[in-house]
A and B are shown apart, each in its own frame.
Chain A
Amino acid sequence: MSRRPRIAVVTFPGSCDDRDAAWALQAVGAEPVAVWHADEELPDVGAVVLPGGFSFGDYLRCGAIASFSPLMGAVIRFAADGGLVLGICNGFQVLCEARLLPGVLRPNASLSFVCRDVPLVVERADTPFTTRCSDGQALTIPVKHGEGCWFADDELLAEIEANGQVVLRYAESDNPNGSVANVAGVVNADGNVFGLMPHPEHGVDPLLGPGDGALILASLVDAVRLSTGLAV
């Protein structure tokens, strides 16, 4: 059996999907490594996952306070060196507030918490987070958030669209939060940091519903295997 790629799963005070993320990562072949937000350094890992939850109670703005956790300095350096970083839901909010990803997440246009499976379209299958998908593929992955309305002003959106940084969109007729341009997930300009509001870790085992989330997480595991020289 080949060695499992190690992927850090960060826990902030108020994270609640860290264990599910760790479970799902091991289900798709990784060795999850639990990391506490107050640590100054990352352990030896091939990727970092910032999980969902309500870090620091979503005080001030969701993700804003967590973006200054001691570990985030190490995550920012890891990303600057080309390390793969995946932010799910609150993790996406943290990455936007840390300015590793463009835009910001705002309260849902409906002001209601939304918790259901949503249809998505893969805009780019050539990122390290989507290689197991194909361009234009329809996925179904659950969302559960009150502040998932991704926003960028016209100028920033035009730049992101021109760079092809939108990786996932909600199906046109079924945007759960009112995000600009139906954006569900964006990647940074270098392509190594990805954030999305849907929860791939909640959609891995077909026993519990659509298993499309496994495609995202398994793509990441593949990418870590490639980058660390482990056999895929």
Chain B
Amino acid sequence: MRATVLVRPKQGILDPQGEAVGSSLRHLGFEVGDARVGRVIDIELGQADADSARADVDRMCRQLLANPLIESYEIELHA
């Protein structure tokens, strides 16, 4: 089983990287509003049980992969 973790800057948090990306896109002629830059982490997991896998990845997120002060996260599991 594999997990994909999406880490995003929380809403309301200034995201200078996202602002730079949005401004570049507008400079290229695309009509876009806000852009936000986060991070994707793909993880190969040892276990096959989805519930315990999700619980493990949730703990990984809280301990290391995301900083709860500034980031939110989403977990996707793939067989």
Which residues of A line the B interface, CB within 8 A?
60-61, 64-65, 68, 97, 103-104, 106-111, 151-153, 156, 178
Contacts and interface: CB of A to CB of B under 8 A. Distances in A.
A219 B70 CA distance: 33
Contacts of A97: 67
A111 B70 contact: no
Contacts, number: 29
A226 to B, nearest CB: 34
Interface string B1-42: 000000000000110110010000000000000000000000
A219 B17 CA distance: 38
A109 B67 contact: no
Contacts of B70: 104, 106, 151
B69 interface: yes
Main secondary structure of the interface of A (DSSP, over half): loop
Interface of B: 13-14, 16-17, 20, 64-65, 67, 69-70
Contacts of B14: 109, 178
Contacts of B13: 151
Contact of A156 (B20, B65, B67, B69): B69
B69 A111 contact: no
Given A60-B64, A64-B64, A68-B64, A152 B69 contact: yes
Given A60-B64, A64-B64, A68-B64, A153 B16 contact: no
